[in-house]
Amino acid sequence: MSIKKLLFSGVSLVFAAALIPLTVFASPHDGEMSNAQFQELKQKALNAAQNYVSIVSQNGSYSPWLNTNITYQFPLFDFEDDVTSFLFDVDNDVGDAGYLVVSADDSPVVIEATREGNSPYLNKSKNEKAVYVGPTQYYIKKSNDVYYDIRKKTEENKSNFKSKGTLDGTKKVAESELVSETALSSKTKPGEISTMTIVNYSSRTISEVPDFTWRKGCSPTSFSNIIWYYRYSQGYTGLLQSTTTPETLIDVLASSTYMNTGTNGGTGWDNRVTGMVKFWSDRGYTVSVTRNSPSFSEHMTEINNGRPDI
């Protein structure tokens, strides 16, 4: 999985795996489910994945998904060998275009998605089970007692995990909410993985950041929110004239002078970087932009420090 982060002048702009509003899902047990039931759930999940990609690509927010193939990979399980979800790869003419994790139930939802790179389970062998108990919680079952934590790159004994039941219920969380490691540790003992770990989130909102209506591409629209925040809430008065409207700002960012956003709303990665550097530089601010792969805790750190996260 590839996660892109832009860091400039103390501002962190993170392009990350999308954590979709989550409907917690029931988990049919692998040994209790008939093949017909399994195939029915898989087909419903595939339909949900196709619908999601179609909506994202056709509304102009992500044109590289206009002509893609969605390929089923394998089921994902919990620590009790119950099916939680299904993994799908997205490919276009260029190659890997991300992946989707879709819940395994009668009304499936896309739980997690990225728009580039491979899934975290790329190196799983054919005979190993992929374990998924919520966004960014990836494991591989190595034996009946040993699980490999993909994020930590360590092996854990099953005795360290104390199951609190299957992932069922109907509670949803907002897309803007972030996991608080402190809050999680107060609800579960070390090593515990439970439904509560997934659905009980604490959130932090930077209230001064606007949410402008989509216009001429997601990148110029999103970056305009950041610029507006620093102009009017953080004292960077040289960024914008007082008469500049949000629509004008977005149009300027999308222009060939800066991000060179295409007529279909698409903006290249390099154009995002060079466009933002030039925009700030033209207004008298020296900035440096780098791209790397932050951990989830780094996303939280940026938000907690009052730096808007894209």
Q: Is 29 helix (H, G, I), strand (E, B) or coil?
A: strand
pTM over 0.85: no
Beta strand spans in 78-198 (E): 83-91, 96-103, 110-114, 129-132, 138-141, 146-149, 154-157
Q: CA 111 to CA 130: how far, in whole Å? A: 16
Q: How open is the CA angle 123-125-131, to the nearest 5 degrees?
A: 80
pLDDT of residue 20: 34
**β-bridge pairing 83-91 and 69-77:** antiparallel
Burial class of residue 113 in the structure, from the number of CB atoms within 10 Å of its CB (0-12 exposed, 13-18 middle, 19+ buried): buried
pLDDT of residue 179: 33
pLDDT of residue 239: 96
Q: Which residues contact 149 (CB under 8 A, 6 or more apart)?
A: 138, 139, 155, 156
pLDDT of residue 41: 93
pLDDT of residue 190: 38
Using 50 as the pLDDT threshold, list the residues of the chain that sit under it: 1-27, 163-202
pLDDT of residue 30: 54
Q: CA 130 to CA 142: how far, in whole Å? A: 9
pLDDT of residue 23: 33
For the stretch 13-68, pLDDT in tens is 333 333 333 333 344 555 567 888 899 999 999 999 998 888 777 765 677 788 88
pLDDT of residue 170: 30
Helices then strands, counting H and E runs in the chain, come out as 7, 12
